[in-house]
Amino acid sequence: MTSLVIRRWPVDDPISGGFRELYTNIRGTYEHRGLDFRSPKGRPCREIADGIATVHRPGDGWGDASFGLCVVTDHVGTGLYSIKSHLHEV
């Protein structure tokens, strides 16, 4: 596995949820494994690094649909991926 070079943030908005923060929902408490950004509806979102992007919609069999409309990017060769979730459109 190689490291991922983040070339840019996905949006120019503030971080609203940090890596390793504890979150609680109806399933219990869990450690957050990413960064959340609070962006207004319709704000364009960029890829953070090179990779292969796939669009997923609720009910398509990927995940548990909690991310809503999302784009999952496999940063090939790194063993890492990024998710742009709760999107309005793609």
How high does pLDDT run on average in the chain?
89
Helix (H) or strand (E) holding 16: strand 15-17
The residue written with tokens 């709760």 in the block is 86
pLDDT, average across residues 42-61: 92
pLDDT at 40: 92
Give pLDDT, residue 1: 57
For residues 54 and 72, the answer to whether their CB atoms sit within 8 Å is: yes
